[in-house]
């Protein structure tokens, strides 16, 4: 397991990521971090931009999957709304 430290949240909701944890994860000033909660736990994860080739591969796989599933471009907004509604419950 990597580094584990205790930190305190300020009155503005800010917290310091201890140096040992930053070094263990290779974090540096200006990096974007995503904060995710399930209502009990909090996960802080570095936002990583995929390499262009990786992104293109993902888009191509998604297009093939959508075609095999019989999805049309016009189906996408309705499906996004449906997933968002279901995720709220």
Q: How high is the pLDDT of residue 60?
A: 95
Strand, coil or helix: 45: strand
Structure tokens at 58: 């993902």
Same-domain status, 7 and 37: yes
Structural domain total, the chain: 2
Same-domain status, 43 and 15: yes
Same-domain status, 67 and 24: no
**Nearest alpha carbon to residue 19 among 3, 40, 36, 42:** 3
Same-domain status, 24 and 59: no
In the chain, what is the straight-line distance between the N-terminal and C-terminal CA atoms, in Å?
34
Query: Distance between CA 70 and CA 63 in Å, rounded?
Result: 10
Residue with tokens 């503005």: 12
Specify the pTM.
0.53
Q: DSSP secondary-structure letter at 6?
A: -
Q: How high is the pLDDT of residue 1?
A: 63
Along the chain (89 residues), what's the average pLDDT of each consecutive run of 10 residues? 84 93 92 94 90 93 94 90 87
């Amino acid at each position: 397991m990597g580094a584990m430290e205790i930190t305190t949240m300020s009155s503005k909701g800010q917290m310091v990521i201890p140096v040992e944890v930053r070094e263990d994860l290779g974090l540096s000033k200006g990096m974007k971090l995503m904060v995710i909660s399930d209502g009990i736990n909090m996960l802080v994860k570095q936002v990583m931009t995929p390499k262009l080739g990786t992104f293109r591969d993902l888009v191509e796989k998604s297009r093939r999957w959508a075609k095999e599933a019989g999805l049309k471009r016009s189906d996408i907004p309705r499906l996004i709304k449906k997933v968002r509604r279901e995720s709220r419950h």
